[in-house]
Amino acid sequence: MEKIVEQTLLYDFYGELLTEHQKAIYEDVVFNDLSLSEVAQMQGISRQGVHDLIRRCDKILAGYENKLHLIARFRETKQSVEEMYQMMEKYAKSKDETLMVKVTELYHRVLEEI
C-alpha cells in the first residue's frame, strides 16, 4: 500500500514529465490496476517490456524528486498547516496569546517556503 501511495505522489508531481507512452502504461498498471499481461496485450509489447517500463518510470520519477524535492516540501508545508490548525483550535478554547504568536510565526515560515 505504501508503495502505491508513493507512486501516486510521484506521478502527481512529476507525471507530466513522462512521455505519453510511458504515462499510458504507468496509469494502466498503477492506477487502473491492470495486470502486466493485460497492458502488454493492449499495447502490443511483451509483459517483460511493461515490467521494465514501470520500473524505469519509477526510477525517473524518483530521480526528479531527488533533484527537486517538491514532495518533501509539500509534506513539510502540509505538516506546518496542520500544526497551525491545531494551535488555532487550542487558541479558540484558551485565548492564550502565546499560541497566536506561534501561529503567526509558523504562518510566516510557511509563506517563505512557498
Burial classification of residue 7, based on how many CB atoms lie within 10 Å of its CB (0-12 exposed, 13-18 middle, 19 or more buried) = buried
- What is the pTM (predicted TM-score) of this model? 0.78
Helix (H, G, I), strand (E, B) or coil at 45: coil
**Residue 59: CB partners within 8 Å, gap ≥ 6?**
none
Domain ranges of the chain: 2-68, 72-113
Q: What is the CA radius of gyration of the chain?
A: 21
| Residue matched to cell numbers 510565526 | 105
Question: Do 68 and 53 touch, CB atoms closer than 8 A?
Answer: no
- What is the structure's pLDDT at 1? 67
- What is the structure's pLDDT at 114? 67
pLDDT in tens, the chain (114 residues): 688 899 999 999 999 999 999 999 999 999 999 999 999 999 999 999 999 999 999 999 999 999 999 999 999 988 888 888 888 777 777 777 787 777 788 888 877 776
**Residue 14: CB partners within 8 Å, gap ≥ 6?**
60, 61, 64, 65, 68, 70
Number of Cβ within a 10 Å radius of residue 91: 17
| Residue matched to cell numbers 484558551 | 94
Question: Do 58 and 25 touch, CB atoms closer than 8 A?
Answer: no
CATH topology of domain 2-68: Arc Repressor Mutant, subunit A (1.10.10)
